[in-house]
Amino acid sequence: MKLTTFASALLLGIGAAISPNLMAADAPALPPSLFLPELILPTDDIPASSEPEKLRKKYFAFSDSDFTYEYEGQQKTIDQFIDEANVRSFLILKDGKIVYERNVFPYSRWSKHQSWSVNKQILSALVGIAIEEGAISSVEDPMDQYDPRLAVNGFAGITFRQALQMSSGISYNEQEDRYNLFFDVINDYYSFGRSGATLVDKTTAPELTQAYEPDSKWQYASINSQAIAMGLTAAINKPLQEYLYEKLFDPMGIADESKILVDGDDTEFTFCCLYATSRTYAAIGLLYSNYGFYNGKQIIPADWVRLSTSFDDPTSWTGAEGVSPEGNTSDLFGFAYHWWPLKGEREDFTALGVYGQSIHILPKQNTVIVRLSGDYDTPDAHRIEAVVLGRAIADYLD
């Protein structure tokens, strides 16, 4: 059974149904602004914390009318960036307080924004917590030690570190295979398992062979995140969204509800697809800005935060080694434990998701900048500019 006509219509976000014979191979041609998986796949709710702590505001600390930044020889304003990069929500924290918050209509303070790959950075936090608690002995442990189903293809023997650093060597075409994954999971869900594939099926597929020697090359492959999730889930012996709430969102005092996309087996998407408010993303940024300390608690081990977000682990990748977010050729970005450290003396780093999602964290300047966008026309074209803007904001606030 293929996608139902109704499901196909929802997928494209239009009133008229598309052909039910749509194949996964056609997926990359789908207009990204119309790709809304949350409309046709189930989601699991993640409640607000049992003891919510709202982010506080500090008024008159930042004036967008007085602030400009220079990019490619031009003086620009935040308004220009928001317009050109199709920003939906822009939020700035300084010293733990909101100093600027703008939500572009129809988005509001309460809107839940698709994380896209920013969820990978949250997954990294959960791995660090599991290691600290002893559920995982070491980041150098093979993932199939915890979930033997990963031993059937190219993930056999691959460690958590190798998958976190996108150096597993797995054979994966990020653009084509990522879309194929969505469509196979959708087919599985609407055919009640008679066709398509679950997330576990996709992660343990025999065609996922080794394309190159592990640790020899950096290659962005979202399927690494699903393999990490399988190993992690087996180690903690509970659903990942429960662990996320129990170990992160509840102790942090996250005040807003979130949700996460799941497949027909209630398995979580971990390479994408958390839906949360801009303030929830800002709180995650603040947690990392404070090296895992938040709401009076050390929630993530400080050493894990440092290794995840910097070049301190010698096996992490720098921009000079071919690390570059899609659509960029700059050597500004490196890659550590599913986070993007940035070159320079600031020791800043960022979470990144396709179509303009980012949490830029500048710990030395106690600044966090959240950008949530629908940057579809030129995907990811504003990633470098967003870093330049973020650094200029941090300097302005100092």
pLDDT (tens digit per residue) in 337-358: 999 999 999 999 999 999 999 9
Characterise 157 by phi-psi region: left (phi > 0), alpha (psi -120 to 50), beta (else). Answer: left
Task: Name the E strands within the chain.
Answer: 43-46, 69-71, 74-76, 87-94, 97-103, 113-114, 258-261, 274-276, 293-294, 297-298, 340-341, 349-353, 357-362, 367-373
Residues 326 and 220: beta-carbon distance below 8 Å: yes
- Residue 276: strand, helix, or coil: strand
More confident residue, 294 or 25: 294
Cα separation, 114 vs 357, in Å, equals: 9
Residue range 90-94: average pLDDT?
A: 98
63, burial (CB in 10 Å: exposed 0-12, middle 13-18, buried 19+): exposed
> What is the chain's alpha carbon radius of gyration, rounded to the nearest angstrom?
20
pLDDT band at 380 (very low <50, low <70, confident <90, very high): low
CA distances from 8 to 23, 44, 175, 197 (A): 11, 21, 20, 17
- Residue 86: strand, helix, or coil: coil
Share of the chain above pLDDT 90, in %: 82
Residue-level length of the chain: 398
More confident residue, 86 or 378: 86
pLDDT of residue 14: 34
More confident residue, 28 or 378: 378
pLDDT of residue 376: 81
Q: Tell me which residue has tokens 């300047």.
A: 365
Q: How many CB atoms lie within 10 A of CB 58?
A: 14
Cα separation, 384 vs 72, in Å, equals: 11
| Among 178, 146, 177, CA closest to 159 | 146
Picking from 27-31, 60-64, 231-235, 333-337, which range would have the lowest pLDDT averaged per residue? 27-31
**Residues whose CB is less than 8 angstroms from the CB of residue 180 and which lie 6 or more positions away in sequence, other chains included:** 24, 25, 27
* pLDDT surpassing 60 at residue 20: no
pLDDT of residue 342: 96
Cα separation, 390 vs 371, in Å, equals: 10
pLDDT of residue 5: 39
pLDDT tens, residue by residue, 163-198: 999 999 999 999 889 889 999 999 999 999 999 999
pLDDT band at 330 (very low <50, low <70, confident <90, very high): confident
Cα separation, 364 vs 346, in Å, equals: 7
* pLDDT surpassing 90 at residue 159: yes
Cα separation, 239 vs 129, in Å, equals: 15
Cα separation, 120 vs 217, in Å, equals: 19
pLDDT tens, residue by residue, 239-289: 999 999 999 999 999 999 999 999 999 999 999 999 999 999 999 999 999
Q: What is the mean pLDDT of the chain?
A: 90
Residues 203 and 227: beta-carbon distance below 8 Å: yes
| Among 51, 53, 67, CA closest to 102 | 67
Cα separation, 168 vs 160, in Å, equals: 9
- Residue 178: strand, helix, or coil: helix
More confident residue, 124 or 30: 124
Tokens of 227: 């393999």
* pLDDT surpassing 60 at residue 9: no
Q: Is the pTM of this model over 0.85?
A: yes
Residues 249 and 203: beta-carbon distance below 8 Å: no
Share of the chain above pLDDT 70, in %: 89
pLDDT tens, residue by residue, 29-71: 556 666 789 999 999 999 999 999 999 999 878 888 889 999 9
Cα separation, 18 vs 39, in Å, equals: 15
Cα separation, 77 vs 69, in Å, equals: 7
Backbone angles phi, psi at 276, to 5 degrees: -145, 165
pLDDT tens, residue by residue, 194-228: 999 999 999 999 999 999 999 999 999 999 999 99
Give the CATH H-level superfamily of domain 50-114+277-398.
Answer: DD-peptidase/beta-lactamase superfamily (3.40.710.10)
Residues 283 and 217: beta-carbon distance below 8 Å: no
